[in-house]
A and B are shown apart, each in its own frame.
Chain A
Amino acid sequence: MNEEEYRQSGWQVVLTSELRRLWLGRWGPLLLLVFSIFLSVYIVILAADPEMNVLSQRMIINQTIQVTELVGIVAVLLLGADSFSGERDRGSLESLLLTPVPRGQLVIGKLLALLSLWLGMIPIAIPYIALVARGTDVAMASLVLLVIGGTLLVGLSAAVGVLVSGLSPTNLMSFAFAVGVMLLLVAPTQLPAGVRDSPIVDWLVVSNPITAVDRYQSAVIDGGAWTNGVWLLLSPLIALALAFGLGPRFLNNRLSLHGGFRP
């Protein structure tokens, strides 16, 4: 195949351009820098604060993983929420929509580019997790949990951001709606233990991808087997599959110049 015969699919062209924009522009490197500073400060506080010493080492590991995932979720969510509505606000979306690339492929390209941010965050988080988990038998498990759980949740967050952005008429509305959805999903992690005992709340916890991943990670880090409660990963897996499988298809018919549900 010579160069003239080589053709990329539309999503690959969008992905390449978005990767260049993210990593050669200011956002990617800046976010990674802020993330590494944040993690350093967080670990120092955990290690230095005597009050924190009442937490067991396993709890600290779990919290570090959760915080890392949360930062990834929020960063990807906000970038995702800017993906289409930002172009809409800046007036550059029409140019993109005028190309023969199906809308669904534009969505896939932008979605995959967002995930690269998480791929950049994982290597930064690994030494910190390894540091807090040193001397325990869950050091390796912690890293695997971070990769699996984080990828599921960050992927879902990217999909929510892009989906909301594709439908929102303005960037402001997109940010507000995306943050609102994510707060709704994160809120149950803050419920007091007593409330969590109720069967309805329990059902909500296992069907909410964020709380389900949180519960599974806690169970494994607390010494449980990998298989113990692995079914908790079902809801994030299903949500991610739906978001990646149906999201681009949904937006393929609805991604429009002015936003909204109608094409």
Chain B
Amino acid sequence: MHDVVLNAQGIAKSYGQIQALDGLTLEVRAGEILGLLGPNGAGKTTAIRVMTTILPASRGHFTVMGVPDSRPEEIRALIGVLPESNGFPLAMTGADFLIYMGRLYGQSATRAETKATELLSLLGLENARRARITTYSRGMKQRLMIARSLVNDPKLLFLDEPTLGLDPKGQQEMLQRIREAAEVKRVAVILSSHSLEVVEAICHRVLILNRGRVIAQGSVAEITRRVAVPHACRIQFPAEAVPKALSVLSAMAGVTVERHANRLDELIVSFQGTRDDADMNAVVQHLIQAGVPIQAFSRESVRLSDAFLSMIAEVQT
């Protein structure tokens, strides 16, 4: 039964008249990665701060591994957090910082030191372990803060923009680490990010917040299915065949054709009010019958970013 790591019911947080979070209800299971999405000011950071016991909720309650939010110290012992504000005691070295944090989680000096060495190595900071944090680059500080979030072997991990400040290789490695933590160690992860590609790449489920309210929740596939984004395909032609293709396609009913912004030999064909694959077949048939050579054909899938933007726009109008 206690596959459920986090269970939150109707969490609300207000600052005076401002309702930062309103009725957040969610459940996260062991090994699951939940993406938290939303525009700036949607309430993502507030949600994380409430569920990490940094801020008290104005309403609602939650449990972590069955521990109620009325016992915040016990909850903090179970969770790891990559917070939004990642300041450090700059005079400390990376190793000293992690050892200090480990000790604050009740680890013995030996255990804290072993853990610090292990994490610094895991995050690629072993060569900087004796350097002061003040000498670290932004990416290194981000890695160190991620190491800090793992210092207590958490059951639930909150990551606020985990790839911020990392180079592309570092981002890939980071996502791989998060995946491993979820799959191998069965850590439940809540990941907040503005990068929809990151969320789409590793999250099992997504929760979209806007102005403190949940506007959608489900798997990436479920979310994208809900959105009425035009059904479309891309077709590539030899450059000289493009005008003929344009005239053939323009004559078809229910079809909108536009040129690709950067590629002169490519057309984007959208189908209004239908999601039937037969339409695509009909387009190809028409082109072949008219003697237009086709070099490449690809179906446009609805991406999470399309769904996200569409939902936010819908709510705002």
Which residues of A are interface residues toward B (Cβ below 8 A)? 3-8, 10, 13-14, 17, 21, 25, 87, 90-102, 256-257, 263
**Which residues of chain B are within 8 angstroms of A21 by Cβ–Cβ distance?**
89, 91-92
Flag whether B139 is at the interface (Cβ < 8 A).
no
Q: Which of B81, B88, B103 has the most CB of A within 10 A?
A: B103
Among A10, A13, A90, point to the contact of B87 (Cβ < 8 A).
A90
Q: In the docked arrangement, what's the CA distance between A176 and B83, Å?
A: 29
Interface positions of B from 80 to 117, Cβ below 8 Å from A: 81, 83-92, 100-101, 103-106, 108-111
Whether the pair B108, A91 counts as a contact (CB closer than 8 A) is no
Q: A21-B89, A21-B91 are in contact. Are A7 and B104 (CB under 8 A)?
A: no
**Which residues of chain B are within 8 angstroms of A98 by Cβ–Cβ distance?**
52, 54, 76, 79, 81, 83
Q: 22 interchain pairs (CB within 8 A)? A: A4-B108, A4-B110, A5-B108, A7-B106, A7-B108, A13-B100, A13-B103, A21-B89, A21-B91, A21-B92, A87-B87, A90-B89, A91-B86, A94-B83, A94-B84, A94-B87, A95-B148, A98-B52, A98-B76, A98-B79, A99-B101, A100-B104
Pairs A-B, 8 closest by C-beta atoms = A91-B87, A92-B87, A99-B104, A100-B77, A91-B85, A100-B76, A13-B103, A90-B87
**Which residues of chain B are within 8 angstroms of A263 by Cβ–Cβ distance?**
56
Given A13-B103, A256-B54, 19 other A-B contacts at CB below 8 A? A3-B108, A3-B110, A4-B108, A4-B110, A21-B91, A90-B90, A92-B87, A94-B85, A95-B145, A95-B148, A96-B104, A98-B52, A99-B101, A99-B105, A100-B74, A100-B76, A100-B104, A100-B106, A102-B73
Whether the pair B108, A17 counts as a contact (CB closer than 8 A) is no
Q: In the docked arrangement, what's the CA distance between A213 and B101, Å?
A: 41
**Which residues of chain B are within 8 angstroms of A87 by Cβ–Cβ distance?**
87, 89
Whether the pair A97, B54 counts as a contact (CB closer than 8 A) is yes
Which secondary structure characterizes the binding site on chain A? Answer: loop
Flag whether B55 is at the interface (Cβ < 8 A).
yes
Which residues of B are interface residues toward A (Cβ below 8 A)? 49, 52, 54-56, 73-74, 76-77, 79, 81, 83-92, 100-101, 103-106, 108-111, 145, 148
Q: In the docked arrangement, what's the CA distance between A219 and B55, Å?
A: 51
Among A3, A7, A100, A257, point to the contact of B55 (Cβ < 8 A).
A257
Q: In the docked arrangement, what's the CA distance between A14 and B103, Å?
A: 9
**Which residues of chain A are within 8 angstroms of B84 by Cβ–Cβ distance?**
94
Q: In the docked arrangement, what's the CA distance between A102 and B88, Å?
A: 20
**Which residues of chain B are within 8 angstroms of A256 by Cβ–Cβ distance?**
54-55
Q: In the docked arrangement, what's the CA distance between A4 and B101, Å?
A: 17
Among B49, B74, B88, point to the contact of A92 (Cβ < 8 A).
B88
Q: In the docked arrangement, what's the CA distance between A17 and B97, Å?
A: 10
CB distance from A148 to the nearest CB of B (A): 34
Residue of A nearest to B15 (CB): A258
Q: In the docked arrangement, what's the CA distance between A99 and B112, Å?
A: 14
Among B52, B81, B85, B104, point to the contact of A101 (Cβ < 8 A).
B104
**Which residues of chain A are within 8 angstroms of B109 by Cβ–Cβ distance?**
3, 6
Q: In the docked arrangement, what's the CA distance between A21 and B54, Å?
A: 25
Whether the pair A25, B74 counts as a contact (CB closer than 8 A) is no
Q: Which of A10, A97, A98 has the most CB of B within 10 A?
A: A98
CB distance from B293 to the nearest CB of A (A): 60
Q: In the docked arrangement, what's the CA distance between A95 and B106, Å?
A: 15
Residue of B nearest to A6 (CB): B108
Q: In the docked arrangement, what's the CA distance between A6 and B111, Å?
A: 11
Q: In the docked arrangement, what's the CA distance between A263 and B104, Å?
A: 22
**Which residues of chain B are within 8 angstroms of A7 by Cβ–Cβ distance?**
106, 108
Q: A13-B104, A94-B54, A257-B49 are in contact. Are A100 and B73 (CB under 8 A)?
A: yes
Q: In the docked arrangement, what's the CA distance between A90 and B88, Å?
A: 7
Among B52, B90, B104, B108, point to the contact of A10 (Cβ < 8 A).
B104
Q: A94-B83, A99-B76, A100-B74 are in contact. Are A17 and B110 (CB under 8 A)?
A: no
Q: In the docked arrangement, what's the CA distance between A101 and B152, Å?
A: 13
Residue of B nearest to A4 (CB): B108
**Which residues of chain B are within 8 angstroms of A91 by Cβ–Cβ distance?**
85-87
Q: In the docked arrangement, what's the CA distance between A184 and B148, Å?
A: 43
